[in-house]
Amino acid sequence: MDDVFQALSDSTRRAMLRDLARGPRTVTELAEPHPISLAAASRHIKVLEAAGLVRREVKWRTHFCSLEAAPLARAHSELSFFEQFWSSRLEILDRLLREEDAQTTLADQTKPHAKRKKDK
């Protein structure tokens, strides 16, 4: 799983995966939107392949890449633990803040109001 998270840590690789989610692409097509060389794009793709996120097929001299989504599903499953953790913490914080607001409102309502002097 570490190699998946390492692969996802780079914005260029995440963008490549988004492109591949729309269908297979060549290395050239994956490199095109980025200010990188084909060699650099190929290195990024190798990281994605090592993480199991991309499958590469060679037809003649053209390399076609496809998304392999299973590792992303496992990463999502791993991250869902933290989502549940933070959601429960945020719910507690929300409850505490609402209680504090309610106490402040109640305290303001029970304060005796100062008598106003009439303007002459």
Q: What is the pLDDT of residues 21-57, one digit of tens each?
A: 999 999 999 999 999 999 999 999 999 999 999 999 9
Q: pLDDT over 90 for what percent of the chain?
A: 48
Predicted pLDDT at 41: 94
Domain total in the chain = 2
CA gap 48, 7 in Å, rounded: 6
38 touches 44 (CB < 8 A): no
Residues 9 and 63 in one domain: yes
Classify residue 56: in a domain, yes or no. Answer: yes
Q: pLDDT over 70 for what percent of the chain?
A: 92
Residues 38 and 77 in one domain: no
Q: pTM for this structure?
A: 0.68
CA gap 67, 8 in Å, rounded: 13
Classify residue 119: in a domain, yes or no. Answer: no
Residues 48 and 87 in one domain: no
DSSP type of residue 9: T
Can you give the residue range of the structural domain that contains 80? Answer: 69-108
44 touches 12 (CB < 8 A): yes
Residue 55 pairs with which residues in a beta bridge?
A: 66
Residues 77 and 48 in one domain: no
Residue 116 has pLDDT above 80, yes or no: no
CA gap 74, 72 in Å, rounded: 5
Classify residue 115: in a domain, yes or no. Answer: no
Predicted pLDDT at 106: 76
Classify residue 120: in a domain, yes or no. Answer: no
